[in-house]
A = this chain, B = another copy of it.
């Protein structure tokens, strides 16, 4: 794009963002420098702030600026239920439903042997300690319904089996508002088996 060293460094660093290739990085750098210098400065500051202030909640492992996140500190929540999700975004999706008032454990990832992500990387030891603290009576596995998410749920339920806890999984079935004709066969089969 140019022989300006600062610009070159900016373009190369923007490529560290997921899903950003050389063309997108050039477009982003060009946009910020030509049309939105205030945005460049604001983004620089936001990155710095987040990198130095955001840590993990010591209880549920989600992002938090304090030792414990607001959800874990909320005394109106039911401490006997623990919902296990992969990411803070999944937790946010569950929260938006308003249908769950228990607590969470956020894995910050999923088991993925092909990418070298094992039980230690997603803090399973910490999850088991948390689930067996004596207060939790039900662990709800809300990992994604993908191959890795299912494997993660399986490993967790194996690890907690025969410890006196109820282990449940989010129900599989036909999505609300959908027509049977257009739903995939695996989903219909699950919905038939789990009919009520």
Chain A positions within 8 Å of B, measured between CB atoms, are 1-7, 9-10, 13-14, 16-19, 24, 26-34, 36-37, 39-51, 53-54, 62-65, 69-71, 87-89, 91-92, 108-109
Majority secondary structure, A binding face: helix
- Are A17 and B46 neighbours in the complex by a CB distance under 8 Å? no
Measured between beta carbons, the chain B residues less than 8 angstroms from A63 are 1-2, 4, 7, 33
CA distance A54 to B30 in the complex (A): 11
Measured between beta carbons, the chain B residues less than 8 angstroms from A33 are 50-51, 54, 63
A30-B87, A92-B1 are contacts. A49–B17 as well, Cβ < 8 Å?
no
Contact sample, A vs B, 26 pairs, CB 8 Å cutoff: A1-B89, A1-B92, A2-B64, A2-B69, A2-B91, A2-B92, A3-B70, A4-B63, A4-B65, A4-B69, A7-B63, A13-B46, A16-B42, A17-B28, A19-B24, A32-B51, A33-B50, A33-B54, A33-B63, A34-B109, A40-B47, A40-B48, A40-B51, A44-B44, A44-B45, A44-B51
